[in-house]
Amino acid sequence: MITLHRLGHSQDPFQLNPDLIVTVESTPDTVVTLATTAKVLVSETPEQVTASTREWRAEVLAEALRSHGPEQAPAALRGLPTHAHAN
């Protein structure tokens, strides 16, 4: 989960599952549109939301590699081709 702050409520952080994010727009306020079609206005910039999402995903992948070892990681994470080429 990433921590965000609703616009106008900077003292009240909330947690958002970044897998639900469809778009992040600056209109000029930052609007996060979710897969549920809900829209949330947040005080963070689109760049901050993106950075938090990237950091969260990197943490999830790092934990998966720690827990299962690199040999069980998906091929793309091990630097292997993800599909065979027909010759």
Q: pLDDT tens per residue, the chain (87 residues)?
A: 999 999 999 899 999 999 999 999 999 999 999 999 999 999 999 999 999 999 999 999 999 888 877 666 666 666 656 555 554
Q: Are 44 and 9 in contact (CB under 8 A)?
A: no
Distance of alpha carbon 86 from alpha carbon 72, whole angstroms = 25
Q: Which amino acid, residue 40? A: V
Domains of the chain, by residue range, sit at 2-74
